[in-house]
Amino acid sequence: MQNAIETLWRRGTAHIDGPLMIAVSLLLAVGMVTLYSASNQSLDRMEGKLFNIGVALAVMWVVANTPMAQVLRFALPAYLLALALLVAVALVGDVRNGARRWLDLGVISIQPSELMRIALPLALAWYFDRYESTLKLSNFAIAAALFVLPVGLIAEQPDLGTALLIASSGCYVLFLAGLPWKVIFVLGAAGVASLPLLWSVMHDYQRTRVLTLLDPTQDPLGAGYHTIQSTIAVGSGGWFGKGWLEGTQTHLDFLPERTTDFIFAVYSEEFGLLGNAILLLLFLLVVARGLVITVNAPTVFTRLVAGSVTMTFATYAFVNMGMVSGILPVVGVPLPLISYGGTALVSAFFGFGLLMSISTNRKLIKS
């Protein structure tokens, strides 16, 4: 009997990466604690989050137990499907809150950009894996085309935040795949040079957000309100914070969206600089473990996937905390593992599943 349980446990956890799981669990715990405060001690929210975690863990387990060879085969079809859906959104999507992001499938509505977040790095990794031995500059050009197309479609919705984040995940793949330094510098310079052009094609609300970042007090009750209040929350936290459940910005309703995109302000107000340092450390643990898995990955495909997943995770964390603390414009990016929200949690765990699959399959091969 005990043997049976042991066997079951071993089978169940065979593809779970221990260190990664521990770091992720700590972040989830921080998230639960913060959510309890942010939601004004709403048990409904806690239950909701626990349910989301359950679903996300199941997804992670399934992905972790899927050999990367399988994933490789699905990479291109998944990308094409996501691209087709994005085109469909552009043509017949639902407009919500002024942006055409949703596709009504009758039963459920989906945001194809979420699917693209996963599909794009996989497709790029697949591409570089395929042309591994004959890599030329033209391959990079084609790869770039692979991600410019969906990023363009998403930016058009408009959802600049998601577009830029997906673009960054593609960039990480290009970088890790060995994009020559000369090209990187040229592109970087060109990017900076094209900023005015980007400005000219931005929507008014996007410009407002950028301007608001530069001076939030210009519009204290409008676009600047979020930034002002979250910055006050963070700053008033001080060294050690106001204490759990004691944040005045949080509990007197001054913080908007405090269970979702702005949950970091709640955490920061109540746990202070010390808490922030610990949180940064936990995120770094995940990133560090991800990079270790990345360097040890057996194939080009797995390396690039692992690297992109890890770097994208780090980018999301950075962008969210930067936005809440007032150094980045307000874009709708949740804080991975901490913010309330099912979709983001599931896609994060999908990525962890990939990392675990990569890390444990390598071990299996070695043994």
Partner 1 sequence: MPQLVELKNLEGERSEFRRRAAIAGLFVLALFAVLLGRFVFLQVMKHEHYHTQAEANRISLVPIVPNRGLILDRHGTVLAHNFTAYTLEINPSLVRDLDATIESLSQLIEIAPKDRRRFKRLLDESRKLGAIPIRTRLSDDEIARFAANRYRFPGVEINARLFRRYPNGTLASHVVGYIGRINPKDVESLEARGLMANYRGSEHIGKTGLEQKYESELHGITGLEQVEVDSGGRAVRTLARTPPVSGNNLQLHLDLRLQQAAEEAFGGRRGALVAIDPATGGVLAFVSMPGFDPNLFIDGIDTATWNELNNDPDRPMVNRALTGQYPPGSTYKPFMALAALQLGKRTPQYGIHDVGFFTLPGNSHQYRDWKVGGHGFVDMHKSIVISCDTYYYQLAFDLGIDTISNFMRQFGFGARTGLDLEGEAIGINPSQEWKQRRFRQKWYVGDTISIGIGQGYNVTTLLQLANATAIIANRGQVFAPHLVNTIQDATSRTLRQVLAQPLRRLDFKPEHWQTVHQAMIDVNTPGGTGHRAFADAKYLVGGKTGTSQVIAIKQGQRYDASKIDERHRDHALYVAYAPADNPRIALAVLVENAGGGGAHAAPLARTVMDFYLLGQPVKPIDGPANRGNGSASGGGSGAERD
Q: Which two tokens stand for residue 190?
A: 């060109």
- Nearest distance, CB of residue 231 and partner 1, angstroms: 7
Minimum CB distance to partner 1 smaller for 197 or for 295: 295
CA distance 148 to 293: 28
Minimum CB distance to partner 1 smaller for 5 or for 252: 252
Pair 126, 72: CB distance under 8 Å: yes
- Nearest distance, CB of residue 343 and partner 1, angstroms: 24
Beta strands in 105-185 (DSSP E): 109-110
- Nearest distance, CB of residue 300 and partner 1, angstroms: 8
What does the DSSP assignment read for 288-338? HHHHHHHHH-SSHHHHHHHHHHHHHHHHHHHHHHHHHTTSS-----PPTTT
- Nearest distance, CB of residue 59 and partner 1, angstroms: 23
Minimum CB distance to partner 1 smaller for 24 or for 234: 234
Please, which residues bridge with residue 102 across strands?
Answer: 94
Q: How far is CA 271 from CA 239, 257, 275, in A?
A: 8, 19, 5
Minimum CB distance to partner 1 smaller for 157 or for 339: 339
Residue holding tokens 């996963």?
118
Minimum CB distance to partner 1 smaller for 10 or for 366: 366
Which residues in this chain contact partner 1 in the complex, by CB under 8 A? 68-69, 72, 129, 172, 175-176, 178, 221, 229, 231-239, 248-249, 252-254, 268, 272-273, 276-277, 280, 283-284, 287-288, 291, 294-295, 298-301, 303, 307, 310-311, 314-315, 318, 321-322, 325-327, 365
What does the DSSP assignment read for 185-250? HHHHHHHHHTHHHHHHHS-HHHHHHHHHHH-GGGSTTTTHHHHHHHHHHHHHHTTT-S-TT--HHH
- Nearest distance, CB of residue 234 and partner 1, angstroms: 5
Number of helices (H), then strands (E), belonging to the chain: the values are 15, 3
- Nearest distance, CB of residue 172 and partner 1, angstroms: 7
What is the dihedral sign for C-alpha 188, 190, 196, 200?
A: negative
Minimum CB distance to partner 1 smaller for 1 or for 252: 252
Minimum CB distance to partner 1 smaller for 82 or for 179: 179
- Nearest distance, CB of residue 238 and partner 1, angstroms: 5
- Nearest distance, CB of residue 166 and partner 1, angstroms: 17
CA distance 169 to 175: 10
Minimum CB distance to partner 1 smaller for 100 or for 130: 130
CA distance 169 to 151: 11
To the nearest 10 degrees (0 to 180), the angle between helices 160-176 and 300-324 is: 140
Strands 109-110 and 94-96: unpaired
